[in-house]
């Protein structure tokens, strides 16, 4: 099992929220992650759609800490060093949009029958897991019509992450992804062109 990055604190069929064990240590926007289930052979794939840090107290919020009672000015990391209690009163969380699941060595890009249970482990998808998922472009179809998500940015981020580990190389994978995307968006070429421009921007 890969090192866990957090555990699920809210769970639904299409999405879940996980809390991290280390403050400010969430996976990046667009990262591919795996959630464990009650079946040890099944892990649920998802993409990180939002990261936030907030008070652990229900309805509470963080307060300004950049100036001490003595008048000393504190900046950025100095605030965390001067207030180690922040690790106890704040929590970093991330939201995940479900894209499929893996049962043993088989990857399926569709919504699983049951959501991942609350308090179960979330981990980064390793290179082998990403490659298995990236072999099919069904994940693009699942995001194109996703409501209330920055779908275009998520598709670009996923394609970029797949490119970095693709066995055939980044350029070849980008070409295949571009063909798949333009096919799916054949009636909205401007949108496809915008997404592909976002993919290229990190590699130019």
- Domain regions of the chain by residue span: 1-126, 137-204
- Would you say the pTM of this structure is higher than 0.85? yes
* Better-predicted residue by pLDDT, 61 or 33: 33
Written in H, E and C, the secondary structure of the chain is CCCEEEEEEEECCCEEEEEECCCCCCCCCCCEEEEECCCCCEEEEEEEEEEEEEECCCCCCCCCCCECCCCCECCCHHHHHHCCCHHHHEEEEEEEEEEEEEECCEEECCCCCCCCCCCCEEEECCHHHHHHHHCCCHHHHHHHCCCCCCHHHHHHHHHHHHHHHCCCCHHHHHHHHHHHHHHHCCCCHHHHHHHHHHHHHCCC
pLDDT of residue 137 exceeding 80: yes
pLDDT of residue 202 exceeding 90: no
pLDDT of residue 203 exceeding 60: no
Tens of pLDDT, residues 80-101: 998 899 999 999 999 999 999 9
């Amino acid at each position: 099992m890969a090192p866990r990055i957090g555990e699920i604190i809210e769970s639904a069929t299409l999405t879940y929220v996980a809390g991290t064990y280390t403050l400010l240590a969430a996976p990046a926007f667009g990262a591919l992650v795996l959630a464990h289930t009650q079946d040890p052979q099944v892990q649920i794939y998802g993409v990180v759609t939002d990261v936030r840090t907030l008070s652990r107290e229900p309805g509470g919020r963080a307060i300004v800490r950049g100036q001490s009672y003595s008048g000393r000015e504190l900046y950025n990391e100095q605030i965390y060093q001067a207030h180690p209690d922040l690790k106890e009163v704040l929590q970093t969380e991330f939201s995940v949009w479900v894209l499929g699941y893996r049962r043993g060595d088989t990857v399926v890009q569709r919504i699983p029958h049951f959501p991942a249970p609350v308090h179960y482990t979330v981990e980064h998808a390793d290179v082998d897991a990403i490659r298995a998922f990236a072999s099919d472009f069904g994940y693009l179809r699942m995001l194109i019509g996703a409501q209330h998500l920055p779908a275009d940015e998520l598709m670009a981020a996923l394609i970029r992450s797949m490119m970095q580990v693709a066995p055939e190389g980044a350029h070849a994978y980008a070409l295949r992804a571009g063909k798949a995307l333009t096919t799916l968006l054949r009636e909205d070429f401007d949108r496809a062109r915008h997404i592909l421009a976002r993919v290229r921007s990190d590699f130019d």
